[in-house]
């Protein structure tokens, strides 16, 4: 009889696998899934897999990397048919932790741009904040409408070999990926419809409604029925699919900078009938491109005068400019203290221990233990610039040491975390193999409003043994199910 | 609705319609010419195809039949080729993706994939019919989705305006092209060739069957002209499309067009003029009338762009 697809799966020693324990026994939450998947032989499975991939391409659920290929070939974000399961109990704990963390980050942002108490009390060093390239001086002495800065955040979490979740980083500028959660779910519902019924998987399709509620809740004061829009850099942006997807699912206008203008303290769109006032702008354009009058003068993506309208309180910008001052990887290491300071609570979610290279003793430790550490530039995203000591040559280590010494503020180091692995269908070998995964959880904060997307985006490092999960660097994704399976 | 997005939708409509007409013209001209033993006919057909996309068929670059056929259908560097038109149609749809229905987008995207992946070698040797035929069918599917899955609001109205102005333009160009051919044929005094040209003309607008129903005679020059220009019940006639265009402009117009020289006034005047025009008034010199119509349609496009799309 032909071998079933999961029979030859081998768990790696020293690593935590989400699906199997070390002696190869299926874990309880995955039992039903396992028996379902084992009905397939590899050929049948490949057929389902190919059909799903093709449907993504035909629907244009793609991202384009124009920098790499000027012709703009579109690729689908690789997607794996085997979902990751998180139990409802585990999720409830994560949810509490995520709310706590993001509320504290919001209070921190409000504080560093206004009273600066936490800096005066020396809980967080002021040099760390004021030296950050993302600290935005146009936000000083200003509070956004609704009092929220980080309306939308994407928190990256991993599960370590000790079985606990750790926060790897906070993304509170323009976190992306939520459209893939919804598209993945759509595809998986068609492929695995029977399982959905059995496992009572938590829905993700309330996201658009939640986001819309969140946007309206922070409209400028005095605006009854706010006009909201999504601001995109345009269709050549890698995440354009997501921008249009979000606008469409909320029934909002998708605007570009060139569609907008400022007049007498208000923001307007250019419509077929002339101007129309805009109250809430969910921008997917980085701070520095938002307004050529205050940031980069050469920006074609922003709106001249936007920051002025914002500071007059006549438009809400989602997320607020300047939130980057808190998702800096050096600030990240202070989040436990930040939570304690503002909420007087112990952090529910763990941080990965982080060494600050600008502290001399910590830099020494880093320089002497390069092989066991991950070195990260504090202000990069997308997995760029990450250095993993265990896989580096001597020359590469030396080069990195020099970089750290010449600019200690720019780098932090963390122990190499053993991200858990998950069974993932690998096309080249036509079978399931363990691959490292992380989890991006999406939190929304509005005026008296909190929401967590149930499940989030599981990202997969498709290259064998790689720890880098970012889509721009060959990562893939999985649907994530929050289910009652204990 | 954003002016930029209205522009996207208007051009989406234009490019879909253009793709369809180019494909049909290529298909009909090429395969009709195969039915004849006359080299002259085949030469005429080829020139006529090149003419529709603005390629200079006398020029050196297009000495071979194959090259012309590739240039019209598949050449990405030729902005007027079918492949380029569909590329532009999809880019315009992408720019308005949040406003059109998923069904419209999927139909466009799927079709774009078909065109984009079509193997050029196969096209050159045996794929011309398959390529053009599938293209025509897919354009029909896309237009059906636009009609049946979108709100019939101003978003839809701009797509429809693009569609009708493009169709009126393409029909006018087909008429000009064919009546020029007929003129040349007449110079050679060949009656059967003239009737053959009228049949391909009507087929190029998918109008032959309805022509027969309307007139119960073989295609004649005057009747064909009347049918394609003035028939108010035939959806491919110029009059029908100008009147539809007027309807959609009035749907989005904030004022209903009493101001002199406004677009609403302008189209109203043309529409009424065509309603009471008789074929006798231009049958003696159809080319002069058709060329004026083409200029009018271009002016209307500029007026529409100025009024609604370029804010």
Identify all chain B residues contacting A252, using CB atoms and an 8 Å cutoff: 98
| Residues of chain A contacting residue B308, judged by C-beta atoms under 8 Å apart | 272
- Predicted confidence at residue A357, as pLDDT, reads 87
Tell me what pLDDT residue B57 has: 63
Q: What is the pLDDT of residues A113-143, one digit of tens each?
A: 999 999 999 999 998 899 888 999 999 999 9
- From the list B5, B99, B113, the residue facing A58 with the nearest CB is B113
Q: What is the pLDDT of residues B250-295, one digit of tens each?
A: 999 876 667 888 899 999 999 999 999 999 999 999 999 999 999 9
> What is residue B236's DSSP assignment?
T
Contact B105 A235 (CB under 8 A): no
Reduced to 3 states, what is the DSSP secondary structure of residue B260? Answer: coil
Mean pLDDT of all residues belonging to chain B: 90
H or E stretch at B92: helix B82-95
Instruction: Please give, rounded to a whole number of angstroms, the shortest distance from the CA of A149 to a CA of chain B.
Output: 26
Q: List CB contacts (< 8 A) between A235 and chain B.
A: 91, 94-95
Low-confidence ranges of chain A (pLDDT < 70): 1-3, 64-73, 380-383, 472
pLDDT at B154: 95
A431 and B CB contact within 8 Å? no
Contacts of B110 in chain A (CB under 8 A): 58
Residues of chain A found within 8 Å of residue B109, distances taken between Cβ atoms: 58-60
The proportion of chain A whose per-residue pLDDT surpasses 70, expressed as a percent, equals: 96
Q: Which residues of A touch B251 (CB under 8 A)?
A: none
Please state the rounded mean pLDDT for residues B294-303: 96
Q: Is A57 on the interface with B (CB under 8 A)?
A: yes
Say whether B98 and A256 touch across the interface (CB within 8 A): no
CB contact under 8 A, A259 and B105: no
CB contact under 8 A, A58 and B91: no
Nearest residue of A to residue B310, measured between CA atoms: A272
Average pLDDT over residues B125-136: 93
Q: How far apart are CA B54 and CA B47, in angstroms?
A: 10
Nearest chain A alpha carbon to B7: A272
> What is residue A162's predicted lDDT score, i.e. its pLDDT?
87
Contact of A95 with A452, CB cutoff 8 Å: yes
Q: Give the dihedral sign, CA A312/A315/A320/A321.
A: negative
Residue B23 host element (H or E): helix B3-34
The ipTM value here is 0.80
In the stretch 252-281 of chain A, residues with CB closer than 8 A to chain B read 252-256, 258-259, 269-274
Q: How far apart are CA B194 and CA B205, in angstroms?
A: 17
| Cβ-based interface (< 8 Å): residues of B facing A | 1-6, 91, 94-95, 97-99, 102, 105-106, 109-110, 113, 154, 158, 252, 254, 308-309, 311
Counting one residue from chain A and one from chain B, the pairs whose CB atoms sit within 8 A come to 61
Q: What is the pLDDT of residues A415-426, one digit of tens each?
A: 888 889 999 988
- Residue B32: the pLDDT is 84
- pLDDT for A334 equals 94
Q: What is the pLDDT of residues A192-210, one digit of tens each?
A: 888 888 888 999 999 999 9
Q: Are B311 and A271 in contact (CB under 8 A)?
A: yes
* Statement: the pTM of the whole predicted model exceeds 0.80: yes
Q: Name the residue of chain B whose CA is nearest to A248's CA.
A: B98
Residue A269 with chain B: CB contacts under 8 Å: 2
Q: Is the pLDDT of residue B216 over 90?
A: no
Top residue of A73, A76, A272, A277 to mutate, by most chain B CBs within 10 Å, is A272
Q: What's the confidence (pLDDT) of residue A1?
A: 43
Q: Give the pLDDT confidence of B32-70 residue by residue, as tens digits.
A: 887 776 777 778 888 888 887 777 766 555 556 788 888
Closest-approach residue (CA) in chain A for B106: A59
Cβ of B109 within 8 Å of Cβ of A58? The answer is: yes
Q: Which of A240, A253, A273 lies closest to B254 in CB terms?
A: A273
**Exposed/middle/buried for residue A362 (C-beta within 10 Å: 0-12, 13-18, 19+):** middle
């Amino acid at each position: 009889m032909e071998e079933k697809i999961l029979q030859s799966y081998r768990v790696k020693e020293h690593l935590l696998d989400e699906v199997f324990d070390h002696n190869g026994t299926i874990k309880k939450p995955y039992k039903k899934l396992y028996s379902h998947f084992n009905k397939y032989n590899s050929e049948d499975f490949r057929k389902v897999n190919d059909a799903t991939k093709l449907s993504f391409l035909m629907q244009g659920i793609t991202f384009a990397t124009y920098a790499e290929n000027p012709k703009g070939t579109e690729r689908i974000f690789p997607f794996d048919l085997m979902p990751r399961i998180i139990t409802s109990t585990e999720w409830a704990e994560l949810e509490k932790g995520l709310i706590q963390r993001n509320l504290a980050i919001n209070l921190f942002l409000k504080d560093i741009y206004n009273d600066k108490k936490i800096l005066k009390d020396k809980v967080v060093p002021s040099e760390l904040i004021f030296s950050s390239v993302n600290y935005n001086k146009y936000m000083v002495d200003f509070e956004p409408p609704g009092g929220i800065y980080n309306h939308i955040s994407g928190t990256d979490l991993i599960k370590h070999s000790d079985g606990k979740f750790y926060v790897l980083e906070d993304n509170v500028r323009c976190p992306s990926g939520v459209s893939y959660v919804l598209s993945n779910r759509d595809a998986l519902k068609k492929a695995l419809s029977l399982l959905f019924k059995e496992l009572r998987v938590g829905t993700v399709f309330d996201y658009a409604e939640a986001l819309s509620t969140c946007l309206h809740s922070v409209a400028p004061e005095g605006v009854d029925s706010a006009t909201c829009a999504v601001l995109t850099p345009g269709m050549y942006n890698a995440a354009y699919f997501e921008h249009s997807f979000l606008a469409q699912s909320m029934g909002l206008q998708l605007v570009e900078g060139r569609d907008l203008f400022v007049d007498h303290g208000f923001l307007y769109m250019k419509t077929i009938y002339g101007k129309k006032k805009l109250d809430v702008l969910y921008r997917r354009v980085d701070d520095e491109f938002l307004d050529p009058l205050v940031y980069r003068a050469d920006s074609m993506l922003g709106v001249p005068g936007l920051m002025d309208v914002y500071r007059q309180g006549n438009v809400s910008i989602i997320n607020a400019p300047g939130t980057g001052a808190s998702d800096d990887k050096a600030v990240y290491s202070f989040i436990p203290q930040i939570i304690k300071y503002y909420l007087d609570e112990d952090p529910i979610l763990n941080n990965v221990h982080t060494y600050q290279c600008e502290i001399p003793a910590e830099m020494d430790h880093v320089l002497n233990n390069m092989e066991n550490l991950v070195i990260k530039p504090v202000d990069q995203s997308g997995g760029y610039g990450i250095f993993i000591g265990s896989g580096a040559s001597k020359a590469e280590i030396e080069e990195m040491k020099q970089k750290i010494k010449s600019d200690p503020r720019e780098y932090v180091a963390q122990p190499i975390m053993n991200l858990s692995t998950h069974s993932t269908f690998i096309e080249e070998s036509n079978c399931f193999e363990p691959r490292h995964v992380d989890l991006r959880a999406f939190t929304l904060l509005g005026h008296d409003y909190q929401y967590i997307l149930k499940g989030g985006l599981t990202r997969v490092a498709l290259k064998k043994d790689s720890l880098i999960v970012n889509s721009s660097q060959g990562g893939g994704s999985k649907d994530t199910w929050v289910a009652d399976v204990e | 609705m954003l002016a930029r997005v209205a522009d996207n939708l208007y051009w989406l409509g234009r490019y879909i319609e253009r793709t369809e007409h180019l494909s049909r013209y290529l298909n009909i001209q090429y395969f009709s010419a195969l039915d004849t033993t006359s080299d002259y006919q085949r030469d005429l057909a080829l020139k006529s195809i090149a003419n529709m996309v603005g390629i200079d068929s006398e020029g050196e670059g297009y000495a071979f039949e194959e090259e012309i056929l590739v240039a019209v259908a598949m050449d990405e560097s030729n902005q007027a080729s079918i492949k380029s038109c569909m590329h532009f149609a999809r880019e315009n749809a992408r720019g308005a993706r949040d406003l059109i229905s998923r069904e419209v987008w999927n139909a466009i995207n799927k079709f774009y994939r078909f065109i984009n992946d079509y193997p050029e070698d196969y096209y050159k040797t045996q794929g011309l019919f398959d390529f053009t035929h599938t293209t025509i069918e897919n354009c029909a599917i896309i237009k059906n989705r636009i009609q049946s899955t979108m709100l019939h609001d101003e978003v839809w109205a701009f797509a429809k305006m693009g569609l009708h102005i493009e169709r009126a333009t393409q029909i006018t160009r087909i008429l000009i092209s064919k009546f020029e051919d007929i003129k040349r044929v007449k110079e050679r005094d060949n009656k059967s060739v003239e009737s053959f040209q009228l049949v391909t003309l009507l087929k190029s607008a998918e109008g032959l069957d309805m022509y027969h129903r309307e007139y119960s005679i073989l295609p004649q020059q005057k009747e064909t002209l009347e049918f394609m220009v003035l028939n108010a019940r035939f959806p491919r006639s110029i009059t029908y499309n100008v009147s539809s265009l007027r309807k959609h402009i009035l749907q989005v117009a904030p004022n209903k067009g009493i101001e002199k020289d406004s677009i609403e006034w302008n189209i109203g005047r043309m529409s009424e003029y065509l309603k009471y025009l008789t074929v006798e008034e231009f049958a003696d010199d159809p080319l002069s009338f058709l060329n004026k119509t083409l200029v009018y349609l271009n002016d209307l496009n500029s007026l529409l762009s100025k009024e609604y799309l370029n804010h």
